[in-house]
A and B are shown apart, each in its own frame.
Chain A
């Protein structure tokens, strides 16, 4: 991921000799533009990643230890069953969040982009993005107060309910959501929904409405129109939004850590523990490299599907 961002644009190959020097000049000019950001990325992203890679090759490295790359033991440890379980769980959280966000976000984006009055659109979007103006940590703590055993949600659910008692139904039991996987999914989905909606909105806004009209003129019912016209047209947006949510979710630390309790160890929590609890820096680095690889694969998919849609 890192190298791809920072690799400078390739100079176009000069077709003939005389043209070589102006091209080179322009190339240098471009480099100047790249300058500050390039140095930033190089020093703070590429270099640390390379150092991390080197650390990952030192078995049993502890802080202050000798960095002498000598083997792949750390990577072998990554594939122990318990660590594979942790990675599977991370994938589950990221995937689950993506699905939930897509299911919740698409109707919202569709409504804002196609059905809401034009003058309200920007306001609605701003309203939807508004939660992002507060710290994500604060919003996660807010979820704790909502989901906890004696929290807002349980108080509402267990408060005497005339509707239920009139019908002779028992009261709703307290939900044990916090400190388990449902809380993590709720927290993550809530956190990433605005991103999903924003990207989907951008994609739906560009939707060619004449095609929708044509579809209904030709006798397609709304469901057919949606499945065969709207969704295929917005596929790049769906792919981009889903992958963005997935990638961010894969590395999420705050939600599993604060909402997940004892049974939701994810790869980012495990990495944190290696560096700050058990002082296994070599293994922690190997885990980080694996996470970078997983994210790279997701980004490769993003580029691939983005390209195809652009071509078609």
Chain B
């Protein structure tokens, strides 16, 4: 304001300009009576000769592809693959909602995000006749809760969330989430938690004996207070960067996904993975085709390629994530298929929960998260 007033001495028309601008804005607002950001939406999929478009754009988590995988797909189909990566479901969603849906043919959302995207009409209903090998999946992945009948998504990998710790430097190994609170002295500023509201709040809720998907404000308040008391111990909230830090010895414990745990354990065997006793979250990452995707044929080719047991087994071994493909599991070397971090026992899985989207109640979680991360 001071700025405007002062400048008006120098530029007499400035005030008029501002008035006009203000009028223009309100005019815009009134005349259109509410425009939606969605008007800047994806173009409908181009109906150009699909054969001419030999490029497939994939939007995925950073650890889910590598050069070998892309090369073998190109070799088999002649389609060149271009990969972009994201580090959280929410970031991906924001990008798709402002029109990025037309940029990618394949995206890898997690289970709860599949449901959220489906409800927003962002997903293409898959033509089941074009999918080859769905029946190779383990029974519990044939008809998942988040997407009955896999009508919009195909499960690619699954796992748990837990604690990765350095068994050499820590005298006592973590067994449950409350370890972080009990060992605050030892762990001071040398732990990281996931940069994910539902995972962090959920783990705390679970430790307190509640559900990952609690919608009880009193329980959330209790979990939030617990986290506030842990905050001085936390170095940062990170989803990816902790890996390199724990390998360098900067961190003692990190909350992370099982796939990442197996990855760091390969580089340093003293980094072990613990699935907390009171239970943790069970996640599935999937492949979907956005409703406005270009080059759908290539997208189906990619899904079918990933569904091939041989490909699934190779990828599972090389990129360290558990495949839901039971034929592929049989092809894995015992070292991988008996790895309890990747394929935990049924008794452990029984205590795990899936994170489900909570609609409007998500905002309550977000508020607590902002409070926690901003204070």
| A275 CB-CB contact with B under 8 Å | yes
| B172 CB-CB contact with A under 8 Å | no
Interface size class of A (residues with CB under 8 A): 35 or more
| A280 CB-CB contact with B under 8 Å | yes
Query: Which of A65, A261, A278, A281 lies at the interface centre, i.e. has the most chain B CB atoms within 10 A of its CB?
Result: A278
| A39 CB-CB contact with B under 8 Å | no
| A134 CB-CB contact with B under 8 Å | no
A46 to B37 CA separation, bound complex (whole angstroms): 18
Instruction: Show 25 A/B contacts (Cβ-Cβ < 8 Å), sorted by A.
Output: A3-B18, A3-B21, A50-B24, A57-B29, A65-B37, A66-B34, A67-B29, A67-B36, A68-B33, A69-B29, A82-B374, A85-B375, A148-B245, A178-B235, A261-B236, A262-B237, A263-B375, A265-B375, A278-B197, A279-B93, A280-B366, A281-B37, A300-B3, A300-B7, A303-B6
Q: Which of A64, A67, A273, A300 contacts B2 (CB 8 A)?
A: A300
Considering the complex, which residues of chain B in the window 134-176 have a beta carbon less than 8 Å from any beta carbon of chain A? Answer: none
| A26 CB-CB contact with B under 8 Å | no
| A276 CB-CB contact with B under 8 Å | yes
Cβ of B353 to closest chain A Cβ, rounded Å: 22
Interface contact B375-A275, CB-CB below 8 Å = no
Chain A positions within 8 Å of B26 at CB level = 69
Contact with B along A252-282 (1 / 0, CB 8 A): 0000000001110100001001011111110
Chain B positions within 8 Å of A82 at CB level = 370-371, 374-375
Q: Which of B97, B251, B366 contacts A278 (CB 8 A)?
A: B366
| B25 CB-CB contact with A under 8 Å | yes
A85 to B236 CA separation, bound complex (whole angstroms): 19
| B332 CB-CB contact with A under 8 Å | no
| B120 CB-CB contact with A under 8 Å | yes
A4 in contact with B7 given A63-B37, A262-B373 (CB within 8 Å): yes
Interface contact B250-A277, CB-CB below 8 Å = no
B→A interface (CB under 8 Å): 1-3, 6-7, 11-14, 17-18, 21, 24-26, 28-29, 33-38, 88, 90-91, 93-94, 97-98, 120, 189-190, 197, 231, 234-237, 245, 248-251, 366, 369-371, 373-375
Chain A positions within 8 Å of B29 at CB level = 54, 57, 67-69
Interface contact A67-B366, CB-CB below 8 Å = no
Interface contact A277-B13, CB-CB below 8 Å = no
Q: Which of B13, B37, B250, B375 contacts A148 (CB 8 A)?
A: B250
Cβ of A30 to closest chain B Cβ, rounded Å: 14
Q: Which of B17, B35, B37, B370 contacts A273 (CB 8 A)?
A: B370
Chain B positions within 8 Å of A69 at CB level = 26, 29
Interface contact A276-B90, CB-CB below 8 Å = yes
A273 to B94 CA separation, bound complex (whole angstroms): 11
Cβ of B149 to closest chain A Cβ, rounded Å: 26
Interface contact A297-B3, CB-CB below 8 Å = yes
A83 to B251 CA separation, bound complex (whole angstroms): 30
Interface contact B235-A67, CB-CB below 8 Å = no
Chain A positions within 8 Å of B245 at CB level = 148
| A208 CB-CB contact with B under 8 Å | no
Interface contact B248-A150, CB-CB below 8 Å = yes
A→B interface (CB under 8 Å): 1, 3-4, 7, 10, 46, 50, 53-54, 57, 62-69, 82-83, 85-86, 148-151, 176, 178-180, 261-263, 265, 270, 273, 275-281, 293, 296-297, 299-300, 303-304
Cβ of B269 to closest chain A Cβ, rounded Å: 19
Given A149-B251, A151-B250, A279-B93, 13 more A-B residue pairs with CB atoms under 8 Å apart are A10-B12, A64-B38, A64-B97, A69-B29, A148-B245, A148-B248, A150-B250, A275-B94, A278-B90, A279-B90, A300-B3, A300-B7, A303-B6
A265 in contact with B374 given A64-B38, A148-B250, A278-B366 (CB within 8 Å): yes
Cβ of B309 to closest chain A Cβ, rounded Å: 37
Q: Which of A151, A275, A304 contacts B6 (CB 8 A)?
A: A304
Q: Which of A63, A178, A263 contacts B94 (CB 8 A)?
A: A63
6 closest A-B pairs by beta carbon, nearest first, are A68-B34, A63-B97, A300-B3, A261-B236, A149-B250, A265-B374
A178 to B189 CA separation, bound complex (whole angstroms): 10
Chain A positions within 8 Å of B120 at CB level = 64
Interface contact B370-A278, CB-CB below 8 Å = yes
Cβ of A275 to closest chain B Cβ, rounded Å: 6
Q: Is the interface of B mostly helix, strand, loop or mixed?
A: helix
Cβ of B364 to closest chain A Cβ, rounded Å: 11
Interface contact B28-A54, CB-CB below 8 Å = yes
Chain A positions within 8 Å of B7 at CB level = 4, 300, 303
Interface contact B374-A64, CB-CB below 8 Å = no
Closest residue of A by beta carbon distance from B95: A276
Q: Which of B18, B88, B90, B249 contacts A150 (CB 8 A)?
A: B249
Chain B positions within 8 Å of A176 at CB level = 189
A265 in contact with B3 given A64-B36, A64-B97, A67-B36 (CB within 8 Å): no
Chain B positions within 8 Å of A50 at CB level = 21, 24-25
Chain A positions within 8 Å of B93 at CB level = 63, 279
Chain A positions within 8 Å of B37 at CB level = 63-65, 67, 281
Q: Which of B1, B3, B197 contacts A4 (CB 8 A)?
A: B3
A63 to B29 CA separation, bound complex (whole angstroms): 17
Chain A positions within 8 Å of B36 at CB level = 64-67
A67 to B39 CA separation, bound complex (whole angstroms): 11
Cβ of A31 to closest chain B Cβ, rounded Å: 14
Interface contact B38-A54, CB-CB below 8 Å = no
Q: Which of A150, A179, A280, A304 contacts B189 (CB 8 A)?
A: A179
Closest residue of A by beta carbon distance from B2: A300
A149 in contact with B249 given A262-B237, A278-B370 (CB within 8 Å): yes
Interface contact B369-A10, CB-CB below 8 Å = no
Closest residue of A by beta carbon distance from B369: A278
Interface contact B90-A263, CB-CB below 8 Å = no
Q: Which of B2, B13, B234, B250 contacts A262 (CB 8 A)?
A: B234
A4 to B13 CA separation, bound complex (whole angstroms): 11
Chain A positions within 8 Å of B2 at CB level = 297, 300
Interface contact B374-A83, CB-CB below 8 Å = yes
Chain B positions within 8 Å of A293 at CB level = 1
Chain A positions within 8 Å of B251 at CB level = 149
